[in-house]
A and B are shown apart, each in its own frame.
Chain A
Amino acid sequence: MKKTVVLLMVLTLTLALAACGQNNKGNNSGNAAPGSSEASESPASELKGSLLATGSSALQPLVDQVSKKFMDTNKGVSIQVQAGGSGQGLTQVSEGQSDIGNSDVFAEEKLDADKAAELIDHQVAVVGMAAVVNPNVAVDNLTKQQLVDIFTGKVTNWKDVGGNDQKIQIINRPSSSGTRATFEKYALGQKTEDPKGSIQEDSSGTVRKLVGETPGAIGYLALSYLNESVKTVKYEGVEATVDNIVSGTYPVWAYEHMYTKGEPNEVAKAFLDYMLSDEVQNSDVVELDYIPANQMQIKRDAQGNITK
């Protein structure tokens, strides 16, 4: 008799759990619809609802930190931040699986034009990138042409670009990575293939470790990843600093985007407004080594056209 009861309990529990799973799905899809009914009915002072932000792992630390602060002041709101890559973030927001899609690149570069047109871009920060070399490489400055020659495999020894007689070891990001796309577009001006023998790593941390350890290595990193284990080289004589990026003299940088499908709902809008507020832009954004988007003295669109 006892066994029957236990078995029955296990059975009901399994069914209940399965049902819960379905309920969750229903909730999520409901939230994804713009202007969720929960949020619009409540008074303006008190926000209620939940948000799901997915995508870029480069932007995830910032969104995560800001979302915690936002949830502290708005008790009725719960925000989940997941990292899975820019492509995933854009796909999920475009298909309505998440409310906000974080991306390192413009949606036009990953999605079909008609799908990208449905998304609204919120540029929350700017990330600078720099070419880095192993500390014992005796090169301080590389021109665009030299970088192109190195990353296409045309130049394989440091002595051809003004360094010691040492083999160049390329440490790349995968061809689909947002960091690589930015570096290729704004530093090299062209797409590159991986030369034979080059190394690809999928995280900036590993790239930094390998560049720091491997003799003759060259790679590229976001400014927030730079430390004394690698040597930063100037690009066309310009140093990769925040001031140079803001004034537009250093071109290798990218916007960090938070996309919504159509106009954001009340909760998402409040969160994005908070993200762009001076309070966040001047503290959290700077603290985590991003550059506030509103400080930029120039603007750039998806095609790379620059306006002052």
Chain B
Amino acid sequence: MAQPLDRQKAKPHLAEEWVGKIYTLFCIAFLIITIISIVYFVASKGLSTFFKNHVNVLDLLTGLKWAPEGEPALFGALPFIFGSFSTSLLAAAIAAPLGFCAAVFMIEIAPKFGRQFLQPVIELLAGIPSVVYGFVGLSVIVPLFRDIFPGQGVGIAAGSIVLSIMILPTITTIATDALAALPKGLKEGSYALGATRWQTIYRIVLPTTLPALMTGIVLGIARAFGEALAVQMVIGNAPHIPSSLFESASTLTSAITLSMGNTAMGTAANNALWSLGLILMIMTFIFVFIVRWLERRSKI
């Protein structure tokens, strides 16, 4: 009785199976083709600076002077690379302790209030458009720094503060998830041995979740590294390595957004911008690899 009914039903299910398979295959193929073509496009454009315009790779990576339309044209991108690294690392240094402590508060100290009220508020930060951050930075942080510190307020310090607020949700959310996923037994064991709450957090919770916390930081740095608009508005954009945190500087992204529309495709100046883009993309790959490596470690 049961068998023929099964066979009857098998046919439509087989069709469903195939339609689903083909559709998902189509989607994944679309994704892969898109990614490969973007990588190919950026790489071919970015490498033509070296092959077509015969710029030395080392000159680009270590040169201090950026004048792609000058006489002679100079393509020293070190000030931009320096600016990108210093702003994003500084932003992570500001945001990481804040994010950890917020996560600890939300999970360990006030779980109900934290989960219900604080987490949505922090996640809201992630939804604010970057131009709004930039504008707030330009209107609030830059004038404030101008009054307090020597210099004009713009610079790496203003850029990192704006970025640190932008990456705070990433770091906090990942830290919160990691803390919540911690096996209860670990904490209970610690309490059973007579440890206080702070001892438990400090000695047990933070060390065990450290790889996950690091993942959050690296993702935050990656986001900060790629952020263009908000940083560009507050950093000042002078193509020099600054001698103080409050002196006008540039990042890779701000250099690209400043000049992309004003240079003609195919010229050396335009290709040099693609090379900066290529550097950004390679850095993103490196960040992704670090994250994968950290994730593998955290499972053991």
Contact = CB atoms under 8 A, between A and B. Distances in A.
B237 A199 contact: yes
Contact of B265 (A4, A8, A95, A206): A95
Nearest to B250: A200
Interface in A193-226: 193-202, 206, 209, 213-214
B19 interface: yes
Interface in A58-87: 84-87
B261 A87 contact: yes
B248 A202 contact: no
Interface in B202-240: 232-233, 236-240
Interface in B1-55: 12, 15-16, 19-20, 22-23, 26
A110 B240 CA distance: 25
A111 B262 CA distance: 12
Contacts of A3: 16
Interface stretch (A31-39, A171-179, A232-240): A171-179
B69 A175 contact: yes
A202 B259 CA distance: 8
B19 A4 contact: yes
Given A169-B152, A202-B232, A214-B152, A197 B248 contact: yes
Given A84-B261, A193-B67, A213 B143 contact: yes
Interface string B45-75: 0000000000000000000010111110000
Interface in B244-289: 247-248, 250, 257-267, 269-270
Given A175-B67, A175-B69, A176-B269, A196 B247 contact: yes
A68 B257 CA distance: 29
Contact of A209 (B20, B71, B138): B138
Given A87-B264, A91-B264, A176-B69, A194 B240 contact: yes
A199 B237 CA distance: 6
B189 to A, nearest CB: 48
A200 B262 contact: no
B236 A199 contact: yes
A87 B260 CA distance: 8
B165 interface: no
A193 B70 contact: yes
A1 interface: yes
Chain B, interface residues (CB within 8 Å), range: 35 or more
Contacts of A209: 138
Interface string A1-16: 1011001101100100
Contact of A200 (B26, B69, B236, B266): B236
A135 B193 CA distance: 69
A90 interface: yes
A88 interface: yes
B146 interface: yes
A159 interface: no
A154 interface: no
Given A85-B260, A199-B248, A4 B232 contact: no
B259 A176 contact: yes
B154 interface: yes
Nearest to B20: A7
B12 A4 contact: yes
A193 B79 CA distance: 15
A174 B19 contact: no
A303 B50 CA distance: 31
A111 B263 CA distance: 9
B146 A214 contact: yes
Contacts of B266: 91
Contacts of B146: 213-214
Interface string A160-189: 000000000100001111100000000000
Contacts of B239: 194, 200
B270 A87 contact: yes
A174 B262 contact: yes
A283 to B, nearest CB: 29
Nearest to A214: B152
A169 B248 CA distance: 11
Given A4-B12, A206-B233, A200 B258 contact: yes
A84 B112 CA distance: 49
A195 B265 CA distance: 27
A46 to B, nearest CB: 36
A191 interface: yes
B69 to A, nearest CB: 6
Given A7-B23, A169-B152, A206-B233, A85 B262 contact: yes
Interface of A: 1, 3-4, 7-8, 10-11, 14, 57, 84-88, 90-91, 94-95, 110-111, 169, 174-178, 191, 193-202, 206, 209, 213-214
Interface of B: 12, 15-16, 19-20, 22-23, 26, 65, 67-71, 138, 143, 146, 151-154, 232-233, 236-240, 242-243, 247-248, 250, 257-267, 269-270
Given A7-B23, A110-B264, 16 more contacts: A1-B12, A4-B12, A84-B261, A85-B262, A110-B263, A111-B264, A176-B259, A178-B262, A193-B70, A196-B247, A197-B242, A197-B248, A199-B237, A200-B237, A202-B232, A206-B233
